[in-house]
Structures are given as structure tokens and as C-alpha cells.
A and B are shown apart, each in its own frame.
Chain A
Amino acid sequence: MNTPNHRLAGLLTALLLASALAACAPAPQPASPSGPSLSGPSAEGAERLSGTVTVFAAASLKATFTKLASEFEAQNPGTKVTLSFAGSSDLATQIGQGAPADVFASADAKNMAKLSDAELIDGTAANFATNTLEIAVPPSNPASIASFADLARPGIKVVLCASQVPCGAAAESVEEAAGVTLSPVSEESSVTDVLGKVTSGEADAGLVYVTDVKAAGGRVRGIPIPEAATAVNTYPIASVGSSRNKELAAAFIAMVTGPDGRKTFSDAGFGAP
């Protein structure tokens, strides 16, 4: 009478183990650039940088920061950049609770202000990029969206960010500037979720950042909105006060705010600060 129960228990254990193992598997490392550094020795001067710098960056910076981190490692042999991406408010909360970050790059001024008000960052934050909203539609544009006002047509399934998160606050100011009130079918907690609803074809349109449209490649089509100029999101970066490797943190920030960073960000669709 016990055997089937045992078998059930065994099966459950196996499933649990499998999922635990899957969770423990190491994440693939970002590919380091092949060959020696193209830009030659570091412009910083003669001092040799070493050690690990931990960078907490907004989720929308994933592609650009991953690229900059491997360039940084190539230019400064012996250094390692550890990246952690999440929503800016999550990261700010984590740093507030003592997470070991050396550098914080936020997607909005508000979350950076949270940390600077709590005196958790060094000096003042430097703005390094801006981002604006754009309409994202599936490549076939099934609802024939051409302008911001089209989003308010009855029957259009439009997805926005909730007003509690930066992209939702920006969407609200665009609505105000355009004098158009939208009735979204969903108000997501992150811009990634908005984009996901559009790429999967669930939604007819969504409001996301210009850089999200660019990063999505052919999976969505972007429709610029002139009214978006009223809601420009600025990205600040700063070194965290409790950092143990301030030299390396400063060098990484210099790269982000310098010409290398400038080029990477404009390639990805970010605006200049």
C-alpha cells in the first residue's frame, strides 16, 4: 500500500531536485571582446586598476552596460565588473538595506534622490543619458496605429506602465501634453512587461522607451510621438558611499560618462543628457 505513495514522493523529490539544480546552474557569462583591447592602454594614466567593481544598474541599461563592462575589463586587465540589473526602485531599496554595490545607475532622478537624501552616495550624481517614450506596435501593426491620438480609439488594446513606475509617470505627462486620455487594458509594473505584451501580440500597442523599441529589433515597430518631448527621463550615475573600491568605481563612472559611453548610449537610442 505504501509503494505508490513512495513513488509519488520520489517523483516529487526528483522534480524538486531538478528545479533546484536548474536554479543553481551558473548564468552564462557575457562574452568578452575577442583579441586585445582596441583602444590601447587606459586613458586614465599610469595607475593600475585592479579588483572587482559591483554595478547596480536599471534594467533598461542591460545591453549598454554589459557592453561597456566588457570594454572596461578589456581596457583594464585585472579588473572585473559585476553587473546587477533590476528596476531602479528595487536597486535603491537593496542599496538602502546594505547591498554591496559600488556604483548605482538609475533610470530616473527620483530613485537616485532617495539614496542621496539618505546620504548613501558620494558627492553628486552625474547624468549620462536620457530616454523618451515611443509607441510600440506589433510588426504588422494590426490596429493601424499612426499617432498618439489613435491609441484612444475604441477597441484598441493599449498597455501602459502603472503611474507608480517611471515609464508610467512619463506616459501620464505625454497624455496630458497631447490632451488625450487613454483607457489601457493593463497597467504593468515594468516597461519590459509592456513590451512583452506587444511582442506577444496580446496588445495592439504599448508605450515604451525608444531604446526598448530599438533593442527589440524586428519584434516590434516604433512610432515616434512628438508629445514625448515633454517627458524626458534622465539617467544619473553615482558611486555608493559604502564602496570599498572607490578608485575603480570612479573609473567605471568616467567611462560611462565619457566618449565610450556616449557612443554606446547613442547607438542604443539614448539621448544626450
Chain B
Amino acid sequence: MKYNLWFGIYEDGRVDKSSNLEESFLNAENEEPLPFSISEVGIEVFGGKTGYYASLRKVALAVAERLVERELRKEDRYVVALVKALEEVEEAINMLNEKLEDIRTVKDTEIAADFENKIEELKNLRKKIEREIEEIMTKIAPNLTEIAGAKVAAKLLERAGSMERFVKLPASKIQVIGAEKSLYKAFARMKRGKKAKIPKHGIIFLHPFIRTLPKSKRGKMARFLAAKIAIAAKIDYFRGEVDESLYESLRKRYEELRRK
């Protein structure tokens, strides 16, 4: 009988020690309980009790850290769900506000006050969701969040569906996410040989660096911002370190465009 142990394969009283302990650790699966003492075998293999447990702890920790990291990347799905929920809550607040106004113009009653309380509650919920989104975005994509702001970053992520898909998007696509309707309309016009206005920005228009520029310069800024967002997302996903130069270059470009 062969048995899979975290430090190798055990067969007929002999151990074929694994060259990759993290891999054998994850494959240490056996249908039946081991008919021998794994620690006794291991202590012999590692030349002592101290060595055995120190190695076991080290490998277990390394594997756990890797798995946790991978697992926590799923947090992006949570953000996607939160963004969707947030949009619904926002819509509800707007709609209820309208109805409240309708009631108020006719008669100010107790019901109107109740309405107002409910709207207040929803606003608190909105704030809570926004804070949660910000917290998670900062954790899973610090560079992206720094560059785009939590709100824009989360909305872009929601449209992409996941970080994995987001990092595969080219900057030119990121630039117009959220403006698909006018983009495809423009494409259709071009096909027919007509003049068309291609949108300069979608969701990223919400970014203060674009919103606050004169119309003629927004296109340039949007292109630049989208490029930096694409880079930031890739750094977050693949490298996981904070790169401060990104925000700096973005601010510089903004100042430049504003002065011109």
C-alpha cells in the first residue's frame, strides 16, 4: 500500500521524500486512516522531533498563506454584489424622495414624516455600503483605488465582473466602460459612412480629474487616466505592491492640462 504523506510517499516501510514539500502537503490525501504513526516516521526522516515539527509548521504556514491570499481574491465578487446593491438603494432613495415631495405638496401628514424616516434609514444604509466598498477596494486593489477613487474603481470592477477579467481589459476599453450605448451608436453611424461622435469617457467621467477640466481637454485626460487605471489594476492583481509614482504622474498630467 502507498500512502501520501505531507513530506513524501510512504511504501513498504520506506519514504520517498518529496522535493516540493508545499505540493506534497496539499496532496497528503488518503482514503483510510494511516496504519502507522506519521510523526514517528517523520521524526526519523527529519532527524529529530524539533526538526520535524519546525518543518511541518513552516510548510503549513507557507501553504496557508498562499491559499488565503488566493481565496481572498474572491472579495472582488463581494464588491461587485455591493455595487449592484448600492445602485438599487440609490434608486430607491431617489424614487421615494420624489413620492415624498408629491405627498408634501398636497398635505403634510404623519405619513410624510414616516416616509422621511425611512428615506433617512436608506441613506444610512447607503453610507454603510459605500464605506464597506471603500474598505475592501483599498484592501484588494490599493493602487487602482488610489488612482480612480473607491467609487469609480468599484463601478469599473462591477462592469468587468471580476478582477481577473478587469486586468485583461485594454485601456481603450476601460476609458469607455459605461458609455457602451453611445459608443455602439457611433460605430453604427461610421459603418454607414456618416460622421459620428465617439464617446470620450464612461464611468471614469465621475473622476474629479476629468469632471473639473474644460470639455476640450477631457478626452486627453480620460485617455491618460484609463491607461493608468489599466496599469494600476495589473499591479494590484499580479504584484500586490503599492506604487506611488502612478498617482504622481496622474496629478502632473492634470495640472498640465489645466494650465494649458
Our verdict on whether A and B bind, yes or no, reads: no
